[in-house]
Amino acid sequence: MNPRTAGLLLFVSLISPSTAANVLVNGEFEDPVFVLNGSFQSFASIPGWDPFGSAVAVYLSKPGHGIGTWPNGGAEGSSQFADVGNAPNTGIQQTFTLGSELVAPTLSWFDATSDRVASGLITVSSYVVTLRNGSDQVLVSQSYGTDSKVWTQRSLPGIPTLAAGTYTLSFEATSGERQKDLLLDSVSLIPEPGSTLLLGLGSALLLRRRRA
């Protein structure tokens, strides 16, 4: 590899992290920070997120919520996370606007629940993740389930390149009564790193050819 090509690769590797910023707001559920009063606190809305369906609030939790053993803080090492609940047609959503297309986006998050097992209590916490465009058309949707008190990373496959426009991402609980609450943390939507690198490299090589 000649020095110029090596320099281009280094340049792309340096700029790619800045182009892969999370397009979602408050994906770690750290805003607002609240003083623990009991086991959780509910909000009509929080920055970036709103309830939908039969939900009346967005819940932020800290260790100690409910009965049983719950995750010791958030997935990213903080103390707060979202408690979506377990009732069908209850969830949280975020509407975001892209000023330019998002190439090969990757949506990832962490889920968890408690380890509480009691008579009549189903251990699985199930939910659906859905991405819609500005016309309310479903672009991709998939069901998930968790039965672990340990934070587990998930992802939503099959997301196409998103053109400039408005989109809504939602997490809807589907478990129902006598099942455990869905906990969410570290929700992130970014361009796929490999695609970002290739796009950056292609632009750099094209610029080099024009200068040659």
What's the whole-model pTM score? Answer: 0.80
Q: How confident is the model at residue 206 (pLDDT cuts 50, 70, 90)?
A: very low
The pLDDT-based confidence of 186 (bands split at 50, 70, 90) is very high
Other beta carbons within 10 angstroms of residue 202's beta carbon come to 11
The domain limits of the chain are: 24-211
Q: What percent of the chain has pLDDT over 70?
A: 73
What is the fold of 24-211? Answer: Jelly Rolls (2.60.120)
Q: What is the pLDDT of residues 68-90, one digit of tens each?
A: 677 878 898 888 899 898 888 88
pLDDT at 156 over 60: yes
Comparing 143 with 37, which gets the higher pLDDT? 143
Of the chain, the percentage scoring pLDDT greater than 90 comes to 45
Three-class SS string for the chain?
CCHHHHHHHHHHHHHHHHHCCCCCCCCCCCCCCCCCCCCEEEECCECCEEEEECCCCEEEECCCCCCCCCCCCCCCCCCCEEEEECCCCEEEEEEEEECCCECCEEEEEEEECCCCCCCCCECCEEEEEEEEECCCCEEEEEEEEECCCCCEEEEECCCCCECCEEEEEEEEECCCCCECCEEEEEEEEEECHHHHHHHHHHHHHHHHHHHC
The pLDDT score that the predictor gives to residue 34 is 82
- 16-64 confidence digits (pLDDT tens): 444 579 999 999 999 998 876 666 788 889 999 999 987 777 888 876 5
- Name the pLDDT band for 14 (thresholds 50, 70, 90): very low
